[in-house]
Every structure is written in C-alpha cells, then in structure tokens.
Amino acid sequence: QSVLTQSPSASGTPGQRVTISCSGSRSNIGTNTVNWYQQLPGTAPKLLIYTINQRPSGVPDRFSGSKSGTSASLVISGLQSEDEADYYCAAWDDSLTYVIFGGGTKVTVL
Amino acid sequence: EVQLLESGGALVQPGGSLRLSCAASGFTFSNYAMSWVRQAPGKGLDWVSAIRAIGGDTYFADSVKGRFTISRDNSKNTLYLQMNGLRVEDTAVYYCAKGGYSGFDSHFDYWGRGTLVTVSS
C-alpha cells in the first residue's frame, strides 16, 4: 500500500473535467512539493506537473495542479482521447527520507 | 536533446548480482542529482535510489537498503546501480531519471526507456 493514496481509476467523456486526488500526510505533501507524472501505455513516465502547479514546456494547459494541506490534485480540463494513461503523484517524505509515489490512477476516456 | 540510455538488465537467479548503467547526454551531467525508479510488471512506480550532484550523498528505499548501491562517474556521464542479493520481488523495469534542478526531491524531468531485470530461478 502506497504512502500517497490515489484512486485507482477515473474516467470521463471527451471534453469533460477529470480530477485526480493524491492524499498524503504532514511528512510528505504537507511539507514538501508535489510532482505529477503521466505514463502512456508502453512508454516511460513523463513529467506532467512540477512544484505543485508548474507545467513543463510542451504540456498542454488543460493540465493543472494544486495542493491543500496534505492533499494534492491534478485536473484535466477538457479531457482528450490522448490523455488516456496512468497518472502518478510523487513527493519527498521527511520521515522515510526518500521519494514516494502514489499508487497511480488510470484515466479512461469513454 | 537530453538522452538517458539504460543498460545491463538481464535474467538473474535469486541471490545474484547485476550492475545497471545509465549513459546520459544532452546536459551537464555533473550538475544534477540522478535517480533510479522501477516498475514491476503491471504495477506502479517505485523509487529505488538517488545520488546528489554535489557531495555524492546517496539515498535508498527501505526495500533495497543494504543490498543496492548507487554511484556516478561524472567523467563518463554515467550513472550506475549495483544490485546484490537480488530477490524475486526486485523483478521490474528499471528507469534512470534526471533530477529537475540542482537540488533533490521528487522532480524528475527526463526519464530513460528502462531496462528489464528479471529475478527467477
């Protein structure tokens, strides 16, 4: 069981808004920044959001991130078919003294 | 263009050893922390180890502490992961990942394609 908790799955039709949550604790999300990764089927993970809400160059602005207390969220506004992938949150944990990933959320476009 | 190319994955028996390499190019390797992240078949991402750019401080997940060591050769732009005492549960694709800035946290801005390690008798 992951220290960071994500819902295993989420889905929506094209154009819908999808929210993926990542729940942690004070020693990880509560204290440190959160990063999000997208993994398309059969490929390596890709940085999607860094430092809570920053998008790397080339990431569409329909992806956004936020953090409140010990939880973080990734929002896909205007879901597209190419967004079908697994999404992972990640943070440093001060108690464990290493990086932890959420269990991942599989997004399906209906 | 940043490129990370892992190698060294293989089939190995339980208790065996393996050394993975990650050849980096397209950036100043010595300026960035580097990590190994693995993914067991059909499972999620699992951070394994990291080494800082400056000072060479290393970090390990509890699951590999005492069995794996991480090192880097900045003259060769190469990252290594020495894996000893391998267990069936170490079976995974191992990714090399570049830190996103001069410090170190969970920010990995480039990833390699991975190399498969299979531990089985």
Task: Report how far residue B116's alpha carbon sits from residue B39's, in angstroms, rounded to the nearest whole number.
Answer: 9
Query: Distance between CA atoms of A76 and A15, rounded to whole angstroms?
Result: 9
Size of interface A-B (CB pairs under 8 A): 73
Closest to B72 (Cα-Cα) out of B111, B31, B112, B39: B31
pLDDT digits 0-9 by tens, B13-26: 999 999 999 999 99
Query: Which three-class secondary structure state does DSSP give residue A44?
Result: coil
For chain B, give the mean pLDDT: 95
Pairwise CA distance, residues A77 & A14, whole Å? 10
Q: How far is CA A79 from CA A54, A66, A76, B5, in A?
A: 19, 18, 6, 32
- Which pLDDT does position B101 carry in this prediction? 79
Do the beta carbons of residue B24 and residue B79 sit within 8 Å?
yes
Whole-angstrom Cα Rg for chain B: 13
Q: Mind listing the pLDDT tens digit for each residue in A24-75?
A: 999 999 999 999 999 999 999 999 999 999 999 999 999 999 999 999 999 9
Quickly state the pLDDT bin for B69 (edges 50, 70, 90).
Answer: very high
Nearest residue, CB atoms, A88 vs list B44, B105, B107: B44
CB half-sphere exposure, A53, CA atoms < 13 A: 6
Residue B54 has pLDDT above 80, yes or no: no
Q: Which residue has the tokens 């929506």?
A: A12
Answer yes or no: do B105 and A33 touch at CB < 8 A: yes
Give A46 to chain B, closest Cα distance, Å. 7
Mean local confidence (pLDDT), B46-75: 93
- Give the C-alpha separation, B105 to B109, whole Å: 11
Nearest Cα residue to B81 out of B89, B26, B93, A68: B93
Tokens standing for A39?
Answer: 């993994």
Separation CA A69–CA B26 (nearest Å): 37
Q: Tell me whether B44 touches chain A (CB under 8 Å).
A: yes
- All residues of chain B having their beta carbon less than 8 Å from the beta carbon of residue A86 are 44
Spell out which residues of chain B touch residue A100, defining contact as CB-CB under 8 Å: 47, 106
- Distance, CA of A110 to CA of B81 (rounded, Å): 41
